Amino acid sequence: MLIQGAAGNLSSSRQVSGNPTIPAGSFGELFVSELNPVYYSLLKANRVFSIAALGANPTAFTGAVAGTPLIGLYNPAASGVDLVLLQLRLGVRTTGTAAATLDFGFYGVNQGGVAVSGTQTQARNMYSQANTGSAAYGMINTANTAALASTLIAPSVSLGAASATAALNAGLFVDDLKGALVVSPGSYLAFGASATPTAASLDASLIWAELPA
């Protein structure tokens, strides 16, 4: 059997019939590759994007209608792609000056044709570093207008109970999602905090791949 691969190629649509050319890595490798890092081929194909919050004090969000999550991600119904979540990163500068129990989670809902809007943060291409090319509508610590009530679908980073006198002042937390969460066309995903801290300062980024739906 002659297997033909196309090095560095990622088809623009799912292959469902015929004898398609097998996508291969940048060096023609097939199936599981240990030659390149895990997401290298996706980045080289300009399929990986990110949005980030810098020094944010999050507003409490637990799935409320049109609430204010730390990160909101809407996939337009006509995007033609799935947003496949790869990783969430949370950097803690300080949890603030008042006692709080601070946990984070992912909340999701199918919008049923209703688009979500708000102050948009353009997603960054993680290979080219350009703020172009993403089909997603991203929002950072802003009211997500027209977002329906969402349901907790995955707990994420927990900082636990922080007191005013012993606030957590430094830390990096990573939720390595590896594609376990997908935002399909017409769906909305929010990453929210359980409480509103006082004078907290957090950095956060959500990284995803955009693949044919």
Q: Which of 144, 178, 156, 151 is nearest to 74 (CA)?
A: 144
- Number of domains forming the structure of the chain: 2
In this prediction, residue 90 carries a pLDDT of 96
10 belongs to a structural domain: yes
Within 10 A of 201 (CB to CB), how many other CB atoms are there? 16
In this prediction, residue 110 carries a pLDDT of 97
18 and 76 share one domain: no
DSSP helix/strand/coil, 43:
helix
115 and 28 share one domain: no
In this prediction, residue 33 carries a pLDDT of 66
Q: Is the pLDDT of residue 44 over 80?
A: yes
- Domain around 15: 1-36
41 belongs to a structural domain: no
pLDDT in tens, 5-34: 777 777 777 777 777 677 777 777 776 667
In this prediction, residue 213 carries a pLDDT of 92
Q: Is 197 exposed, middle or buried (0-12, 13-18, 19+ CB in 10 A)?
A: buried
In this prediction, residue 25 carries a pLDDT of 77
Please measure the distance between the N-terminal and C-terminal CA atoms of the chain and give it in whole angstroms: 30
pLDDT in tens, 123-150: 999 999 999 999 999 999 999 999 999 9
114 belongs to a structural domain: yes
43 belongs to a structural domain: no
184 and 88 share one domain: yes
Mean pLDDT across the stretch 173-196? 96
pLDDT in tens, 152-168: 999 999 988 877 776 67
As a 3-state breakdown, the chain gives helix, strand, coil percent values, each rounded to 5, of 0, 45, 55
pLDDT in tens, 200-212: 999 999 999 999 9
Helices marked H in the chain — which ranges?
A: 40-44
